[in-house]
Structure 1
Amino acid sequence: MDPAMFGLRLALVFAVLVHFSLLPTSYSLSSQDLQIVNAERRIDLTSHITRVILTLKVENTGTSPASEILLAFPPSEVDHIALLQAAVVVGKKKKKSYLPLDVKPTEVSEAPNETKFFSVSLLNPLSAGESVTLEVPYVFTHSLEPFPLEISQSEPQLVYYHDSAIILSPYHIKKQTTVIKTPSAKVESFSKVEPTDRAGTELKYGPYEDRSPYSFSPIIVHFENNNPFAVVEELVREVEISHWGSLQITEHYKLVHAGARHKGVFSRVEYQSRPSLSGVSSFKHLIARLPPRVHSVYYRDDIGNISSSHLRKDSRKSDLEIEPRYPLFGGWKATFVIGYGLPLQDFLFESSDGRRYLNFSFGCPLAETVVDKLTIKVVLPEGSKKPFAVVPFPVEQQRLETSYSYLDVVGRTVVVLEKKNVVPEHNSPFQVYYEFNPIFMLAEPLIEKEGIVKVA
């Protein structure tokens, strides 16, 4: 599935991102009797980011209503889940619609093998004999393992994907199938759990019938994946608000190629003369998707300004194509800075209670990139009071700092947000609210004038 289409589908399905609870609740399976009538799972491995869409038809075979449905994951997968959502499917085919549901981590006392759980809260309790269809999209990072771990410049990149042909669930499953999509038909090997079929770029496991709870059948798929394994180990985005008419954005990147490590000597002659064969898993450019009406764009590293960048703009977006000073092979790193300005009126608004608020995009502008650690710093104008942020998903940390710049007296409040394991699906708007007295806009001009008078 094309990543852009995947993201668009999520945006259409979910008007509001589902919140994870920070405090897990306790849960007991003995309180209800559910079964999965049909389970269909589609796993997209065409990128280095694993995207899954799980469709479940769940039936209440007990005598009392059920208000929650459990999703189960092996403990090895939980740390790699970047995003997990759920929605009720209403209607069929072209009239199908989706109602988002709340998802939160939970604990189950009798869970075997340290299985981890998430609880999906239904909008209305599921009565005895009734059924409901859920669509559960989720995203994994760092779930593909390069093998071999090192490759030469002329070798393609092969990776392992580990999973189970049988969907892990605490419920009895009457029927289930799993479809795995690879970037190409170049599959070295794959586990067979009959019935197993392969056609082109797809592997189909199942259908399997009448599987007991917690059934598990390990599978490994070994395939070629030469897509850029672009991982930003650390990204710091600083958004500075000036009430004089602009936003200034500064982004500090620590980028690494997280695929199979390069071995041997790099030959630039071979790389340039045989681009289709030499370094096929490397990448030499990235696309940063910036807002429309961007201006004053620059791109530099520790050495200085890098001229190999191209900006394409239209009324909806601005694409900045950047090239590091050298192509990135497995294990190679690059550190650089991107900066740009934006019109203030496109992103700063006033709420009905008089507060001002910034409405900006969370996440990373680089296309199809994983960010291990993201820090967003929103620098408010001097004199701002009572700031708070509204983010559509949990962040590991929110805190306030103070920064000083030219002519500041008391310093500027900085709202700091930190999040780990960020994927393109996190590129959704967040808001920072604050109170501001317009009299503070006169502070800097008066100080500057006073300074000029004193100097004279």
Structure 2
Amino acid sequence: MWKHGLIFMCLIAGIYCAVDTAIENKKVERTIDLTSQLVKVYHKINLGRTDNGVISAYTFVLTEDEKNHLAYLSAKDGSKKELKLTESKTSNGWEYLVSFSNPAATQTLYIEAVYTKMLQAYPASITQSEKQLVRYFGNLYFFSPYKTVNQETSVYLSSRNVESYTQIKPVSMSESTISYGNYENIAPFTTEELVIHYENHSPFLIVSRLERTIEISHWGNIAIEETIDILHSGAKLKGSFSRSEFQKDTRNSLSAVKSYKTILPASATGVYYRDTNGNISTSNMKILKDSVELDLKPRFPLFGGWKTHYTLGYNVPSFEYLFNNGDNYLLKMRAIDHVFDDMTIDEAIVKIILPEGCTNIKLITPYPITRLPDTLHYTYLDTFGRPVISFSKRNLVENHIHDFNLKYNFAKITMLQEPLLVVSFLFVLFVIVIICMRLDFSIVKEKEIHHHKD
């Protein structure tokens, strides 16, 4: 996997010419979090110059391999203000240009990167009672087009059980943390493979597909339903599964996922959790001060390579998310919500069903999405259909839990349409009943005539 980075090292001339070579990474403090199935890398970079100029922009570089696994990237200045990142593809990799709002001779930069599917189960298959080991491949040094004067790296693991790790001095290990550095005077684009092989039993669950449907009612309710496909992407189960062994020894099957917590809004009501067989009653719901915690337990424990499919639904009051000024409405809700801790979603499809009669619909999302064709949804008493706004997004993590804004116009008088349809239907029904009651369909008179003739 790291070969791509080594190839990238050989082709750096084009990038190197494009950056300000007077800028230096005076001190880089890098933290690599490997405690879950995600790889989270945090950088604190103190910048300076070798001349008397100012720093107005900075170039952050990713290799092609890192880009393929990248789910989220953000940059902040010394005051923790969000900075704009401008992405560009080069012949060698990916550049992210960071622009500072206040140019200065020195700058502090915070960069956070979250990668998915970067940890490899090794061995790839294990028995029910074996421990799950994974390997991480990375770069020991901060990969940068600038010279790095001083660098420290801390790697946080989920276990003290470490099979092996790169040992380039100075290096030390304490509990479940490996510390590298200080390393000094690192040339631009220096690479040195960092490999860590360790035990990791955190849930390696991937939401392969999430379909989230949000149905808006102007009568005070919003119905939310999520159809979720989950895959355990850890070391695959080797051999057959023994239910008796699983229940007998709780120390075994550490890599199996028995349950996980989903967080719902505090106002969630009418919660249901079912799969293709019906309702799953093994879940527990706990109402907290600011949320509803749902402990979901699938019908069977999830081992490596196993899948599950279920539907989760609930209702929330519309006044918390729907705002209006006259006939102008604004819906402000999360594009995705918390499924489980350190989640990764391969593909999410969000569908918003609006009331019939909405016009001038405008969608504003917190990050780039793929807009899907608008469709119509029909329910009881609909005449020309409810507009459905849909969009999709791939490779999501918890950092993508942000609100989208949906603006639209809706004439309030349109809300009378359904009650009037019901009243009209009942009125017509009563008229038909009255008419039928007044008509004489009996054959008594005919019988009487026949009797008189006789």
TM-score of the superposition, structure 2-length normalised? 0.88
In structure 2, what is the equivalent of residue 100 of structure 1? 82
Structure 2 contact 327–411 (Cα < 8 Å) conserved: no
Cα shift at 1:119: 1.1
- Establish whether residue 164 from structure 1 lines up as the match of residue 164 from structure 2: no
Question: Counterpart of 1:44 in structure 2: which amino acid?
Answer: D
Greater displacement, 314-323 / 444-453:
444-453
Gaps of 5+ in 1: 1-25, 91-97
In structure 1, what is the equivalent of residue 295 of structure 2? 321
In structure 1, what is the equivalent of residue 349 of structure 2? 375
In structure 1, what is the equivalent of residue 22 of structure 2? 33
- CA distance 1:120–1:403, change in 2 (3 Å): same
Work out the CA distance in 2 between the residues paired with 1:362 and 1:30.
36
2:414 is paired with a residue whose SS is: helix
Cα shift at 1:67: 2.3
Structure 2 contact 16–145 (Cα < 8 Å) conserved: no
In structure 1, what is the equivalent of residue 7 of structure 2? none
Greater C-alpha radius of gyration: 2
Work out the CA distance in 2 between the residues paired with 1:27 and 1:45.
31
Note the alpha carbon deviations across 1:203-254, whole angstroms, 9 max, x for none.
1121111111100001110000001111100000000001111011110000
Cα shift at 1:289: 0.5
Structure 2 contact 285–295 (Cα < 8 Å) conserved: yes
- CA distance 1:411–1:31, change in 2 (3 Å): same
Work out the CA distance in 1 between the residues paired with 2:70 and 2:97.
15
Note the alpha carbon deviations across 1:97-138, whole angstroms, 9 max, x for none.
x221111212457xxxx2322111111234xxx110111112
Question: Counterpart of 2:84 in structure 1: which amino acid?
Answer: D
Gaps of 5+ in 2: 1-14, 433-454
Work out the CA distance in 2 between the residues paired with 1:209 and 1:193.
13
In structure 2, what is the equivalent of residue 125 of structure 1? 103
Structure 1 contact 159–225 (Cα < 8 Å) conserved: yes
In structure 2, what is the equivalent of residue 190 of structure 1? 165
In structure 1, what is the equivalent of residue 444 of structure 2? none
In structure 1, what is the equivalent of residue 9 of structure 2? none
In structure 1, what is the equivalent of residue 450 of structure 2? none
Cα shift at 1:297: 1.0
- CA distance 1:398–1:35, change in 2 (3 Å): farther
Work out the CA distance in 2 between the residues paired with 1:415 and 1:440.
20
Structure 2 contact 19–59 (Cα < 8 Å) conserved: no
Structure 1 contact 372–421 (Cα < 8 Å) conserved: yes
Aligned partner of 1:72 among 61, 74, 88 = 61
Equivalence map 1:221-232=2 (5 Å) = 221-232=196-207
Equivalence map 1:34-433=2 (5 Å) = 34-62=23-51, 64-90=53-79, 98-108=80-90, 114-126=92-104, 130-276=105-251, 278-351=252-325, 354-368=327-341, 369-397=343-371, 399-433=373-407
Work out the CA distance in 2 between the residues paired with 1:438 and 1:30.
57
- CA distance 1:108–1:358, change in 2 (3 Å): same
Cα shift at 1:31: 5.1
2:31 is paired with a residue whose SS is: strand
- CA distance 1:30–1:291, change in 2 (3 Å): closer
Structure 2 contact 21–146 (Cα < 8 Å) conserved: no
Cα shift at 1:448: 2.5
Question: Counterpart of 2:123 in structure 1: which amino acid?
Answer: P
Identity of matched residues, %: 33
Structure 1 contact 32–62 (Cα < 8 Å) conserved: no
TM-score of the superposition, structure 1-length normalised? 0.87
Structure 2 contact 266–288 (Cα < 8 Å) conserved: yes
- CA distance 1:372–1:394, change in 2 (3 Å): same
Structure 1 contact 32–66 (Cα < 8 Å) conserved: no
